[in-house]
Chain A
């Protein structure tokens, strides 16, 4: 396939390349033929910093099934994190301490 299935999102955080961590600006999700994995079509995740050189990139190629499992894991972790933030740390805590946590 030579698709136009590309989703681009702003990303705040850091990613690792070799021994070095670099700040992120962008996450790209695409579905197209694999460039590295010995697979046909894959979900590609690229975490990059558009303001740095092209090597500032952490790239991943996943089967569609692996991507679905990752999405489900992300959903579970995010739901738990939001519960943790809102229901556990949030209740009864001093606002300043909430931010610190």
Chain B
């Protein structure tokens, strides 16, 4: 095998929440496998190029990877415009995200080259969503939450779309969790990250949190001024090691 693995990428249609068909971008490493799987939950800026590229990056590292378009119901168009439309509508319901992500997990488990292990990954709102998913469902084996904002929520922030603060779901977390955070972030703030970790400890949940100095939100966003190369590369190594440990068979 050559040093750089080949891969096949395509869009597939999966049956999302309540049976609604949604599009997902998938990347499959070349070779018979078996490969572990990663389900990516995109961030507030939408089904963006960063997420599509990150899907391919996981495949490059030997993972079957899928990233569903959670904003598909808002219509077709540039993902950036679609995300703006979703924002104008107050975001998507957490429950709908769970249904859509469950469809992506099922797609993964149906792949012939899959090793039976699935990790869920997300950053920003996707980090929050990945954590929610790992608390509400039992079909993932590891969870990576990157700077998930609004895991800690005040009662005044709760509404019909986000009825329960994720931190209050901690007791139901079904798998090991890795957290990547920047100490200059304000959402989540370092204090909120501490609250998040305290709740994990209280319920005896396996987790590893990494807090980076000199970094705020969106540490891995290579196309943004938020990018922090040293912290990003260290964080990538931590996440790949974590998935390597928990998703191996």
User: Measuring CB to CB, which residues of chain A are less than 8 angstroms from any residue of chain B?
Assistant: 1-4, 6, 8, 26, 28, 30, 32-36, 38-40, 46, 48, 50, 53-55, 57, 59
Contact = CB atoms under 8 A, between A and B. Distances in A.
B87 A54 contact: no
A9 B128 CA distance: 27
B149 A28 contact: no
Which residue of A1, A33, A35, A54 has the most chain B CB atoms within 10 A of its CB atom?
A: A54
Interface of B: 43-45, 74-78, 80-85, 87-90, 124-125, 127-128, 147-150, 157, 185-188, 216-218, 224-226
A2 B125 contact: yes
Contacts of B216: 1, 40
Given A53-B77, A55-B81, A4 B44 contact: no
A40 to B, nearest CB: 6
Contacts, number: 79
B225 A28 contact: no
A30 B147 contact: no
A40 B149 contact: no
B225 A39 contact: yes
A6 B150 CA distance: 14
B81 A57 contact: yes
B150 to A, nearest CB: 6
Given A1-B149, A2-B44, A54-B76, A48 B85 contact: yes
A48 B84 contact: yes
Given A3-B149, A3-B187, A35 B45 contact: yes
Nearest to B123: A2
B97 to A, nearest CB: 15
Contact of B148 (A2, A36, A57): A2
Contacts of A38: 225
28 contacts: A1-B149, A1-B216, A2-B128, A2-B149, A2-B188, A4-B149, A4-B150, A8-B88, A26-B88, A28-B87, A28-B88, A30-B87, A33-B217, A33-B218, A33-B226, A34-B224, A35-B80, A40-B225, A40-B226, A48-B85, A53-B75, A53-B77, A54-B74, A54-B77, A54-B82, A54-B85, A59-B80, A59-B81
Nearest to A46: B84
A26 B216 CA distance: 31
Closest 6 CB pairs of A and B: A2-B149, A54-B77, A54-B81, A1-B187, A54-B82, A54-B85
A64 B83 CA distance: 21
Nearest to B188: A2
B81 A2 contact: no
Contacts of B75: 53-54
A8 B90 contact: yes
Contacts of A57: 81, 84-85
Contact of A46 (B44, B45, B88, B128): B88
B232 to A, nearest CB: 15
Given A6-B90, A50-B88, A55-B81, 12 more contacts: A2-B43, A2-B124, A2-B127, A2-B187, A2-B188, A2-B217, A4-B157, A8-B90, A26-B88, A40-B226, A54-B81, A54-B85
